[in-house]
Amino acid sequence: MAGIFIYSEKTDIAAELISFAKASGQDAYAITFEAEAAEAIRNYGAKKVFVLKGDSPIAENYAKSLAAFLKNESANLFVVGATARGRDLAARTAGYLGCGMVSDASAISYVDGTLLADRMLYGGAVIQSEALTGMVVVTIAAGKFTAAAAESAEIVSVDVTADNRVKLVNSTPIIKEGCDLRVADKVVCVGMGMDKPEDLKMAEELASALGAEIGCTRGIAEERHWLPVEQYIGISGAVVTPNLYIAMGVSGQVQHVVGVREAKIIVAIDKNEKAPIFRAADYGIVGDMYEIVPLLIKAIKTNK
Ligand X SMILES: Cc1cc2nc3c(=O)[nH]c(=O)nc-3n(C[C@H](O)[C@H](O)[C@H](O)COP(=O)(O)OP(=O)(O)OC[C@H]3O[C@@H](n4cnc5c(N)ncnc54)[C@H](O)[C@@H]3O)c2cc1C
Within its chain, how far is the Cα of 156 from the centroid? 29
Closer residue to ligand X (CB): 36 or 223: 223
Of the candidates 249, 260, 263, 266, which one interacts with ligand X according to CB under 6 A?
249
Residue 284 found at the interface with ligand X (CB under 6 A): no
Residue 256 found at the interface with ligand X (CB under 6 A): yes
Of the candidates 272, 294, 295, 299, which one interacts with ligand X according to CB under 6 A?
272
What burial letters (b/e) apply to 199-225, b meaning 16+ CB within 10 Å? bbebbebbbebbebbbbbbbebbeeee
Q: Which stretch binds ligand X (CB under 6 A): 15-23, 99-107, 214-222, 223-231?
A: 214-222
Which one-letter DSSP state was computed for residue 152? P
**What CA–CA distance (Å, rounded) separates 109 from 19?**
12
Q: Which stretch binds ligand X (CB under 6 A): 42-50, 57-65, 151-159, 282-290?
A: 282-290
Of the candidates 217, 239, 246, 281, which one interacts with ligand X according to CB under 6 A?
217
Residues 269 and 295 sit within 8 Å (Cβ to Cβ): no
Of the candidates 43, 83, 106, 255, which one interacts with ligand X according to CB under 6 A?
255
Residue 231 found at the interface with ligand X (CB under 6 A): no
10 Å CB burial of residue 123 (0-12, 13-18, 19+) is: middle
Residues 103 and 42 sit within 8 Å (Cβ to Cβ): no
Which residues does 191 contact at the CB level (< 8 Å), separation at least 6? 216, 217, 219, 220, 247, 248, 249, 250, 251
Closer residue to ligand X (CB): 95 or 276: 276
Give the sheet arrangement for strand 114-121, strand by strand.
107-111, 114-121, 126-133
Each residue 78-117 as x (binds ligand X by CB under 6 A) or -, in order, gives: ----------------------------------------
CB atoms within 10 A of CB 11: 17
Residue 182 found at the interface with ligand X (CB under 6 A): no
What is the nearest approach in angstroms of ligand X to the Cβ of residue 224? 10
Closer residue to ligand X (CB): 32 or 253: 253
What is the nearest approach in angstroms of ligand X to the Cβ of residue 102? 20
Residue 275 found at the interface with ligand X (CB under 6 A): yes
Identify residues 191-210 at the interface with ligand X (CB under 6 A): 191-193
**What CA–CA distance (Å, rounded) separates 52 from 115?**
26
